[in-house]
Amino acid sequence: MLFAKKRNRSCNIKRDNLRGGGIVLALSYRNFRIYTAGNAPSLIGVWAQRLASGWMMWEMTKSPAMLGWLGFVDLIPFVVVSPFAGLLTDKIDKIILARVIKIMAMSVAILLTILTFAGKISPELILVLGFLTGLTDGLFQPVRTSLASVLVPKKILASAVAINSLVFNMARFIGPALAGLILTVVSAGDIADNSELAVPVKIASQLTDVGWVFLCAVFSYLFFLIALFSISLENDVKLKTGRTRVFPELLEGVQYAFRHPAIGPLFVIVASIAIFLRPVMELLPGFADEVLGRGKEGYVTLVSMIGLGAMFSGFWIGWRGRIQGLLRIGTISVGAMAISIILFALTKSYSVAIVCMLVFGGSQMLIGTSFQTMVQTSAEANIRGRVMSIFGLLWVGTIAFGAAIIGSLGELYGLPWPTAFFAVFGMCICGFGLKFYRQIKQTVEEDTVAETE
């Protein structure tokens, strides 16, 4: 059976002799293998759900601003709840916390499914449910990013993080393709037209079948829950029991992160990328339909290309399996991401846009894996959950602000120029953060070598 229990000691034998690089070595650990097997289909469902929600919003409104606001409500919960979730992650068994959060996420997906099948979905409800989905994602972010550190040894953490990122981006490729296939089979038509029929009635008559995409997401959450209930942790480091001083302990995590010689500068770069570069993903329905003229099929293809590029990068960095050199990889990837966004924003060629999204996906994956690994290996175990919650807040949550601003500007001036301008500005700020390159390298890479010798 997939989740049959096996003793870890059987996997410990001759691990160093396993061939296939860091990926095979990380997957030789039972708990991490089970977590990965359950996480993969769950993420496919998540991406299918996101694609269907984004396209419905665009078809209902044809508004770049509404796309920006959908991205905002989906991601702003990271800013609000991630720090508190990080504190919970440091205090509570991570697997138990993951189970509770995923039950909440599945409940939201069930509600979305019911409303869609009933023909009661609307732009306002999509925003509300997007916020609730973002809330569960914000709670889960520090759990997800810190779990790898207790599922595998520190020396192969880079490979475990890369596998998590690889699974995430494979799902970004497969999930949209699955959603596109479902939408094609059920022949869900466009919503926006010139009739005087009320929008909710149009939705009920034309988009009921999209509920099948959301139903797939529900079952994907269920599969992940089965995996989570098959995992038990014996080496999960938590804070000492006692009275919790919420805000002082949160402040302790913030002070620790930004005073750290490596984590602080990395966080500046991460926030700049999230605000100025990554929001292009939330605006892809508008680019696919309005700028490139490719409609739903073009949107599915562009999102899938991001996942495909990330998948190739994930295989490479996971196989590489070393912390040394990650800073250089991340630095080069920042430049590649910015250039790909500028070209994508200004091109009218669909073929060029596809190549740009491949590069964007690959570089985004390399940046996320490299920086996340460096932060995890640098943070002390008893404060890692809070530090990773700040990482999640910056890497994911701050996209909300960029998406809302670019979307609003796109309503006035079109999407291309605001997107390109933000990419240029973000690259300049990242260049400022990289003046600490040598300091980060010495703190992370050289200290890690010393610890493992």
| pLDDT tens-digit readout, 372-395 | 888 888 888 778 777 877 887 888
238: left (phi over 0), alpha (psi -120 to 50) or beta: beta
Q: Is residue 6 part of a domain?
A: no
pLDDT > 90? residue 349:
yes
Structure-model confidence comparison of residues 240 and 161, the more confident one: 161
Give 186's pLDDT tier (boundaries 50, 70, 90).
low
Closest CA to 162 of 13, 305, 36, 15: 36
Q: What is the mean pLDDT of residues 280-299?
A: 89
DSSP reduced 3-state for 129: helix
Q: What is the mean pLDDT of residues 18-26?
A: 62
> What's the number of CA atoms in the CB half-sphere (13 Å) around residue 36?
24
For all residues of the chain together, what is the average pLDDT? 80
pLDDT > 90? residue 420:
yes
pLDDT at 307: 80
Q: Is residue 7 part of a domain?
A: no
Give 359's pLDDT tier (boundaries 50, 70, 90).
very high
Domains identified in the chain, total number = 1
pLDDT at 304: 84
Q: C-alpha distances in angstroms, 426 versus 167, 326, 358, 413, 423?
A: 27, 21, 20, 20, 5
Q: Is residue 3 part of a domain?
A: no
Give 348's pLDDT tier (boundaries 50, 70, 90).
very high
Residues of the chain with pLDDT > 70, as a percent, come to 83
C-beta separation of 312 from 382 below 8 A: no
Q: What is the mean pLDDT of residues 314-331?
A: 79
Q: Which two tokens stand for residue 383?
A: 């404060």
Q: What is the mean pLDDT of residues 299-307?
A: 86
Task: Give the alpha-carbon dihedral of 59, 65, 70, 73, to 10 degrees.
Answer: -160
Q: Is residue 12 part of a domain?
A: no
Structure-model confidence comparison of residues 409 and 186, the more confident one: 409
Q: Which two tokens stand for residue 23?
A: 């990926």
Distance CA 80, CA 58 (A): 26
Using CB atoms within 10 A of its CB, is residue 411 exposed (0-12), middle (13-18) or buried (19+)?
middle
C-beta separation of 150 from 237 below 8 A: yes
Q: Is residue 5 part of a domain?
A: no
pLDDT > 60? residue 447:
no
Task: Give the alpha-carbon dihedral of 367, 371, 373, 376, to 10 degrees.
Answer: -150
Task: Give the alpha-carbon dihedral of 160, 166, 167, 168, to 10 degrees.
Answer: 110
pLDDT at 209: 66
Q: Is residue 274 part of a domain?
A: yes
Q: Is residue 240 part of a domain?
A: no
By mean pLDDT, which of 47-61, 230-244, 400-414 is the weakest?
230-244
Q: Is residue 11 part of a domain?
A: no
pLDDT at 246: 62
Owning domain of residue 143:
20-233+246-452
Give 198's pLDDT tier (boundaries 50, 70, 90).
very low
Distance CA 172, CA 48 (A): 8
Q: What is the CATH number of the domain that holds 379?
A: 1.20.1250.20
Q: Could you please report the per-residue DSSP string of 130-181?
A: HHHHHHHHHHHHHHHHHHHHHHS-GGGHHHHHHHHHHHHHHHHHHHHHHHHH
pTM for this structure?
0.74
The number of beta carbons lying within 10 Å of the beta carbon of residue 290 is 17
Q: What is the CA radius of gyration of the chain?
A: 21
Give 184's pLDDT tier (boundaries 50, 70, 90).
low
Distance CA 224, CA 254 (A): 31
pLDDT > 70? residue 61:
yes
Q: What is the mean pLDDT of residues 112-117?
A: 89
Closest CA to 345 of 302, 404, 397: 302
Distance CA 227, CA 225 (A): 5
Closest CA to 262 of 158, 370, 375: 375
